[in-house]
Amino acid sequence: MSIHVVLVHPEIHWNTGNAGRTCLATGATLHLIEPLGFSLDTTQVKRAGLDYWEHVDLRVWPDWETFERELPRLGVPFFFSTKATREFWDVPLAPPEGSVLIFGRETGGLPPALHERYAEQFVSLPMRSERVRSLNLSTSVAIAVYEVLRQRRVIPEGIGPG
């Protein structure tokens, strides 16, 4: 029952770093779909304070099409978008085949072609205020990953009080 977090064209290294930290803490795999809005070179990674980065189960893909060919082997995809009509807690995010949690770039979300092709797989995080356009990308990732764990009722190995 794997968890995969996919960031499609992420733009801000801090958000990607925080998503990586969540993945490391929970045993999830982080997939980054290029192009990225930052460099993964040592200098920029260190500047983001990601001293744990080398331990993240990270896979970088050159484009969506290449990743999409692998998608059926990873699990059931769930696309997160403010435009989705179903809220994430009304959806079983923890199927036995595994969960693939897919998020778009910070300034534009996921491309329209994905909205059309995967319309039934889109979910949103509820926001009650009209003054908020969206939640921070790394916050959204953490909420989604921990909802999968909650639905599975599984605590990742090594996480506990203390």
Cα–Cα distance between 10 and 21 in angstroms, integer? 15
Domain total in the chain: 1
Closest CA to 3 of 93, 114, 103: 93
Asked, for residue 160, whether it belongs to a domain, the answer is: no
CATH code of the domain covering residue 62: 3.40.1280.10
Residue 101, strand partner residues: 5, 78
Asked, for residue 107, whether it belongs to a domain, the answer is: yes
Asked, for residue 60, whether it belongs to a domain, the answer is: yes
Cα–Cα distance between 69 and 48 in angstroms, integer? 31
Q: What is the pLDDT of residues 54-111, one digit of tens each?
A: 899 999 999 999 999 999 999 999 999 989 999 998 999 999 999 999 999 999 999 9
- Determine if the peptide bond prior to 35 is cis (ω within 30°): yes
Provide the whole-model pTM: 0.91
